[in-house]
Amino acid sequence: MRKLILTVSAAALVAGLAACGQEQAVPGAPQTTPLSTVDVEPRAAAVALTAGITTAESAEVGTFVTDGDGRSLYRFDKDSAKPPTTACAGECATAWPPVMVEDPAALQTTGVDPALLGTLERPEGGRQLTIAGWPAYRFAKDVAAGDLKGQGAGGTWFAFLPDGKKAAAKTAESARAVPLTVMKVGALGQIVTDQAGMTLYRFDKDTATPSSTTCVGDCAVKWPPVLLPDGAAVAGLDPAVVGSVTRPDGSKQVTVGGWPVYRFSGDKVPCDTNGQGVGGTWFALDATGAKVK
């Protein structure tokens, strides 16, 4: 059997985006933003591990794991390592293709302890590589060896370190932007999502003129507000439609078209829309802030 090679590499850290379908550029949005123009082409969800070797260092994340082609490998915080399980299937697995391998014992490794390698059975069949128990994925937006566009996406996707741990969540540079995008999500069509493809929502009991939020306390636990750190800016949407509102606790919440935006705790993976229509008051929104029904 031809041996396959798992290697380590390094490159500059950049913000990422998981896609639920092809993105559509937002009219008037700056075309230089990292989230506005790259399409994800339809492809098989799973990718086989291939031969190759490369080793380097990155000032941002240090040494991280790649496949033999130099493509970065990622782990997902919503998976588990003990026992190894995957929470990324369907459209999620299109944006984050699982790394498939028949026999980890046949892998030739450089910089990674072979004892850390294993596999798990995918829900759709086939065996996915695990590192220290964590399922391994590529990111569909990584188009060249060393790309790290998925690093930190949604606060849940991170490059693998050689010991199976995740690379640092953020750098000072990445903390300066809150990346949003517009993409097609199922029957809802083009809606606003975060960089990981998680659906964002607006609340009918809030107001847009002036911007105000009524979702606090337990409501904000179920519907976490999309916050804007001090000194940060929203990237990926038309600057004319984005802004912020000060919440009762003093934090700043992102607004689109004046409407405060939220995630839904019931959405578990990219492209989930479990919050749509809840209570007749929660809705996805389009690039202008209008609600999508």
The Cα–Cα gap between 158 and 241 comes to 30
The Cα–Cα gap between 293 and 216 comes to 24
Q: Provide DSSP, 176-228.
A: GEEEEEEEEEGGGEEEEEETT--B-EEETTSEETTEE----THHHHHS-B-B-
Q: What is the largest CA-CA distance in the chain?
A: 66
- Give me the tens of pLDDT residue by residue for the chain, a chain 293 residues long: 444 444 444 333 333 334 454 444 433 333 322 322 233 333 345 766 655 324 334 556 778 888 878 889 999 999 999 999 999 998 899 999 999 988 888 877 877 888 889 999 999 999 999 999 999 999 998 888 888 888 888 888 999 988 889 987 654 444 567 889 899 998 999 999 987 788 999 999 999 999 999 999 999 999 999 998 877 888 889 999 999 999 998 889 999 999 999 999 999 888 899 999 999 999 999 999 999 99
Please tell me whether residues 227 and 167 are part of one structural domain: no
Please tell me whether residues 141 and 20 are part of one structural domain: yes
The Cα–Cα gap between 179 and 36 comes to 10
Burial (CB count within 10 angstroms: exposed 0-12, middle 13-18, buried 19+), residue 143: exposed
Q: Of the candidates 151, 171, 191, which is a domain's last residue? A: 171
Per the CB < 8 A criterion, the answer to whether 287 and 237 are in contact is: yes
Please tell me whether residues 15 and 71 are part of one structural domain: yes
Q: Of the candidates 171, 200, 231, which is a domain's last residue? A: 171
Total structural domains within the chain: 2
Q: Of the candidates 171, 189, 218, which is a domain's last residue? A: 171
Query: Among residues 31, 267, 6, 38, which one has the least CA distance to residue 139?
Result: 38
The Cα–Cα gap between 238 and 19 comes to 19
- Print the domain residue range for 79: 1-171
pLDDT computed for residue 271 by the predictor: 87
The Cα–Cα gap between 140 and 145 comes to 12
Please tell me whether residues 216 and 279 are part of one structural domain: yes
